[in-house]
Chain A
Amino acid sequence: MTTTATSHRTRPPAQPDSLRAKRLPWYAAPAIAVAALALSAVLVYGTSIGGPVLVVVLGAILYLVGLFAAANAVEGRRSARNRTWSALIHSAFVLAVLPLVSVVWTLVSKGADRLDVNFFQTSMNNIGARDANGGAYHAIVGTLEQVGIATLITVPLGVLCAIYIVEYGRGKFAFAIRFFVDVMTGIPSIVSGLFVLAFWVLIVSPWFNDGRPSFSGFAAALALSVLMLPTIVRSTEEMLRLVPAPLREGAYALGVPKWKTILRVVLPTALPGIVTGVMLAIARAAGETAPVLLVAGGGAAINTNPFENNQSSLSLFVYQQAGDASKYAPARAWTAALTLVALVLILTIAAKLLARRNRLSR
Chain B
Amino acid sequence: MPETRIRSDLHGVIWKIEVAVGDRVAQGDTLILIESMKMEIPVSAPCAGVVSGIFVKEEQQVAEGEILAMITV
Do A and B originate from a single complex? Answer: no
